[in-house]
Amino acid sequence: MIYPKSLIIAVFVSFFIVFAQACGGDDTADRTSGQAETAEAGLSEFELEHGVGPITERIELSDEFDPELVEKGRNIYEMKCEMCHNMEGRMVGPALGDVMERRSAEFVMNFILNPSGMVREHPTGQELLREYMTAMPYQNVMEDEARAIVEFLREYNELN
């Protein structure tokens, strides 16, 4: 028996739609609840103050700046950050000359290491996105490199 292909496809497709809708429904539900949970109320106190990302506890900062770390941070900053940030005055993103006065080291590191998570989940990140209209990209910066950038920014803040 020769069978019109379109009909069989139609049956298959409708079958699939039913199946997919069921699965899709679950998925949507998950995402909604996830959003509710992380919208401010869902964040821990640490996360509210220090950001969402791989840095989950306070890091040690000494009063002395480590010159090697500062230099490493400067190199990475010039390669991967300076395209969009000035030290003084807003550019694509906010000025960073005094960022270490405004934010904790952990917050800055989490923003560098998890920028999409920060603008999606953190109230300050959401606010910054509304203000600057450009989400900060992930620049393939590792945790030790983010720490070095913090050291560089701390020293800059101190000296300027």
Partner 1 sequence: MTNNKSKTLRGLFLGAGFIAIAAFIFTGCPSQQRMLDTGDAAQKVYVAPGEHDEYYGFFSGGYSGQLSVWGLPSARLLRVIPVFSQDPETAYGYSEETKPLLETSYGFIPWDDSHHPHISQTNGDADGRWIFINANNTPRIARIDLTTFQTREILEIPNTGGNHASSFVTSNTEYVIGGTRFSIPYEEDLDVPIDSYSDAFRGALSFIAVDQQSGRMELDFQIIVPPYNYDLGRAGKGPSSDWVFFTTYNTEEAHTMLEINASRNDKDFIAAVNWRKAAELVRDGHGRTMPGEFYHNYYAGKQGYAVNDVKNGVTVLDTREIDEDFIYYLPTPKSPHGVDIDPTGEYIVGGGKLATVIPVHSFSRMLEAIENGAIIERIDGIPVLDYDSTIIGEVENPGLGPLHTEFDGQGYAYTSVYISSEIVKWSLETFEVVDRIDAYYSIGHLLITAGDNVNPEPRYMVGLTKTAKDRYLPTGPKQNHPAQLYDISGGRMQLLKDFPTIGEPHYAQAIRADKIVNQVAQIYEMEENDHPHAIRRIADNRVERDGNVVRIFMGSTRSHFRPDNIEGIRVGDTVYIHLTNFEQEWDVVHGIAIKGANNTELLVAPGETKTIKWEPKRTGIYPFYCTAFCSALHQEMQGYIRVSAADSDVQLTWRTGTN
The rounded distance, in Å, linking the Cα atoms of 124 and 111 is 10
Smallest distance, partner 1 to C-beta of residue 103, A: 22
95 scored as a contact of partner 1 (CB under 8 A): no
Enter the tokens of residue 29.
């539900």
- Write out the binding residues for partner 1, residues 61-90 only, by CB under 8 A: 75, 78-80, 82-84
Using the minimum distance from each CB to partner 1, give the nearer residue, 75 or 124.
75
Applying CB under 8 A, the span of 6-14, 35-43, 45-53, 106-114 interacting with partner 1 comes to: 6-14
DSSP conformation letters of 20-70: HHHHHHHHHHHHHHHHHHHSSTTS-HHHHHH-SSS--S-----SS--HHHH
Which of 126/139 has CB closer to partner 1? Answer: 139
Q: What is the DSSP string of 80-115?
A: HTTTT--SSS-SSS---TTHHHHS-HHHHHHHHH-H
Helix axes 143-159, 67-80, angle to 10 degrees: 100
Considering the rule CB under 8 A, would residue 120 count as an interface residue with partner 1?
no
For the CB of residue 9, give the shortest distance to partner 1 in the complex, in Å.
6
> Interface residues for partner 1 in 126-155 (CB under 8 A)?
133-134, 137-141
Q: Which two tokens stand for residue 149?
A: 């950038």
Binding site for partner 1 (CB under 8 A): 1-12, 75, 78-80, 82-84, 91-92, 133-134, 137-141
